Amino acid sequence: MERVLGTPALFATAYGNVGSSIYYALGLTAFYALGLTPLVFVAAGIVFAATAATYAEGTARFPEAGGSASFARHAFDEVVSFVAGWAQMLVYVVTVAVSAFFVPHYLSIFWEPLRTNPWDIVGGAIVIVLLVSLNVVGVQEAAKLSISLAVVDFATQILLVIVGVALVFSPAVLVDNVHWGVAPTWSNLAIAIPVAMLAYTGVETVSNLAEEARDPVRTVPAAYKLVAGAVFAIYFTLPLVALSALPVVEIDGELTTLLALPPEEGGYANDPILGVVENLGLEGLALDFAETYVGVLAATILFIATNAGVIGASRITYSMASYRQLPEVFRRLHPRFKTPWLSLVIFAGIAPILLLLPGDVNFVGTLYSLGATLSFTVAHAALIRLRMLDRKGGEVVYRAYPNLRLRGVDWPLFAIAGGLATGISFLVLVLQNPTTRWVGLGWMIAGLVGYVVYRRRFVRAGAREIAKAPPAFGPALALAYRRILVPIVPGQASDEATDVACRIAAERGSRIIALSVLEVPLGRPLGDDLPELERVANRELDEAVAIGESYGIPVLSRLERARSAGPAIVAEAEARQAEIIVLGSPRRELTARRAQVFGTTVDYVLKQAPCRTLVVASETA
């Protein structure tokens, strides 16, 4: 996707990932929450709303892939950023495993053995191997198809709620489902809330797409609000229908629901939405059609969600390796396919398959929640820290609400409440689930130890400092530049600078960011509409993208609002950890009255840039 994503596209793409979780989160949550499942999803939804507000503000500030790891880098240091990134890695690995595991369960409408071990494990492993292979080769899913399926999925879920309310919804049954302190027990209820956060698998999606949004300051917060509202609406209503159709009853002397039981015991824990469809009271052709439609749609959505997890795992690995948080080998591209093949094989292939082998979906679900709650807690803490740093001055492009002004700081109440909730949820999982505790903490500790050793022995840098790319000279010069920033202004100079950047990046797996800065006068708010300037800037950015396409080099374009272009370019280079800035400037004759060799902006960047700067002098002004 190019720089064309508006709010509807961001929402649809994100919901395609977030909304897919209903097909497994309902059963996993019901295992712990039983009759309180609807209430638990409401509580988790409130936490998600706070988390979405944090991500909306953080991503609007720093429109780059990385989510909580990016926020932590700006707010704290590289160690905290690594913790958030490594927790995200765990989330992506588990997302791949759990999404792939449930694909064969919904396809069991065609072959019954796919519902049970070992065929569900085999089917999930085949899905992972297939998707990793496709991503290594470089085959990409169609963006329009993913968005269309997300819309169809959302419409189907709404239709399922409407039909369920008409046929089976019963407030009396829902009240009878609740057995306080017994079914569920208080300890299971405490675990149920963080497990219910499985409902928000893929919350990082909008953050990762920010680089492809036309106006992230406006579209990203709007998309997060829509995703939060849509997901909350589904998770508030669908569990009510599910627990009406499949109530809590006594089975083998124990209070439970068929939503919580595995298929070996006649339950629907592994395909909960199919279980709801089968118990709506439909008969004959209507039931057959509904089962086939939901089974195929769910399998397709989960297949795409698995692929999103595969891409996310490779993307976060590549990013961490670029920041010298992981060994350089993980960002090396395949010599033929130009994809990070080693990252894909290890973190999107081998690791998820290892999680699949026990066939224990409850363990996988709690492990996801452990990584997610840790990552969310870091994101909330980072935003609070950024608000504290705001006292030093500078305009904030977007600010979420509610806030409390105290001692010169606009304290983000949503981040404080959200951070407390996710932090407590993390502690509950660590204290009450031994297997999840040792596997999850083992993952984090092993990662931290490896990070410190790698930094000291191979990078020769402190654990907390940002490691710069090593200098290179001669023929090896182009190899060092993976992140190239090209400021764009109207005229031939920027076209020539983009051309030079593409030649530097050619066949090196580099990423070029084309940046156009709208200089907003001091007397006007930064968010003011400047239609003519935006039209010109977008036209120039489109030309930069076209130049990149002629070289076969991806060019991501960014439109930034600022008071002055020079500081905005330097800030963008720092935020993206650019390794070189390629600036175009018309060639000028130096005279006694002309002290500047280039223009004001170019000279400022030359003095203040955090990385190397290459000036391409154009013959034409």
Yes or no: say if 193 and 425 are a contact pair by the CB < 8 Å rule.
Answer: yes
Closest CA to 210 of 608, 591, 576: 576
- Choice among 150-154, 230-234, 389-393 with the minimum mean pLDDT: 389-393
Residue 458 lies in a domain: no
Residues 415 and 497 in one domain: no
Closest CA to 553 of 596, 518, 503, 591: 503
Place of tokens 């502690």: 427
- Choice among 187-196, 200-209, 250-259, 552-561 with the minimum mean pLDDT: 200-209
pLDDT of residue 174: 93
pLDDT of residue 381: 97
Residue 456 lies in a domain: no
Mean per-residue pLDDT for 318-324? 78
Q: What is the pTM of this model?
A: 0.74
- Choice among 220-229, 470-479, 564-573 with the minimum mean pLDDT: 470-479
Residues 389 and 503 in one domain: no
What is the spatial distance between Cα 205 and Cα 98, in angstroms, rounded to a whole number?
17
Distances (CA, A) of 471 to 174, 457, 609: 66, 18, 16
Residue 468 lies in a domain: no
Residues 407 and 499 in one domain: no
pLDDT band (50, 70, 90) for residue 587: low
Percent share of the chain, pLDDT over 70: 88
- Where does a domain end: 449, 483, 500? 449
Closest CA to 85 of 99, 101, 61, 64: 64
Residue 1 lies in a domain: no
Residues 389 and 516 in one domain: no
Mean per-residue pLDDT for 257-269? 90
Mean pLDDT is highest, among 106-120, 471-485, 540-554, 565-579, for 106-120
Pairing mode, strands 254-256 and 403-406 = unpaired
Which CATH number do you get for residue 325? 1.20.1740.10
* DSSP per-residue codes, 361-428: HHHHHHHHHHHHHHHHHHHHHHHHHHHHHGGG----S---S-EEEETTEEEEHHHHHHHHHHHHHHHH
Residue count of the chain, please give it. Answer: 621
Residues 497 and 413 in one domain: no
Residue 104 lies in a domain: yes
Sheet containing strand 555-562, strands side by side: 555-562, 511-519, 483-487, 580-586, 612-618
Structure tokens at 230: 């849509």
- Choice among 2-6, 84-88, 214-218, 455-459 with the minimum mean pLDDT: 2-6
Residue 457 amino acid letter: R
Place of tokens 């996988």: 364
Residues 495 and 419 in one domain: no
- Where does a domain end: 408, 434, 449? 449
pLDDT of residue 476: 36
What is the spatial distance between Cα 126 and Cα 145, in angstroms, rounded to a whole number?
22
pLDDT band (50, 70, 90) for residue 35: very high
pLDDT of residue 1: 34
Residues 515 and 420 in one domain: no
Residues 432 and 301 in one domain: yes
Residues 236 and 322 in one domain: yes
- Choice among 142-146, 399-403, 456-460 with the minimum mean pLDDT: 142-146
What is the spatial distance between Cα 167 and Cα 161, in angstroms, rounded to a whole number?
10
Residues 51 and 198 in one domain: yes
Say how many domains are in the chain.
2
Mean per-residue pLDDT for 467-489? 58
pLDDT exceeds cutoff 70 at 403: yes
pLDDT exceeds cutoff 50 at 348: yes
Q: Which residues partner with 186 through β-bridges?
A: none
pLDDT of residue 3: 46
Q: What are phi and psi of 333, to 5 degrees?
A: -95, 150
Residue 542 lies in a domain: yes
Q: Angle at the Cα of 80 (from 77 to 84), degrees rounded to 5?
A: 135
Domain assignment of residue 288, given as a range:
7-449
Mean pLDDT value across the chain:
83
Residue 369 lies in a domain: yes
Which CATH number do you get for residue 590? 3.40.50.620
Q: Is 415 exposed, middle or buried (0-12, 13-18, 19+ CB in 10 A)?
A: buried
Mean per-residue pLDDT for 462-468? 71
CA atoms within a 13 Å half-sphere pointing along the CA-CB vector of 594: 10
pLDDT band (50, 70, 90) for residue 621: very low
pLDDT exceeds cutoff 90 at 154: no
What is the spatial distance between Cα 296 and Cα 440, in angstroms, rounded to a whole number?
33
Residues 439 and 478 in one domain: no
Residues 436 and 483 in one domain: no
Q: Angle at the Cα of 89 (from 85 to 95), degrees rounded to 5?
A: 140
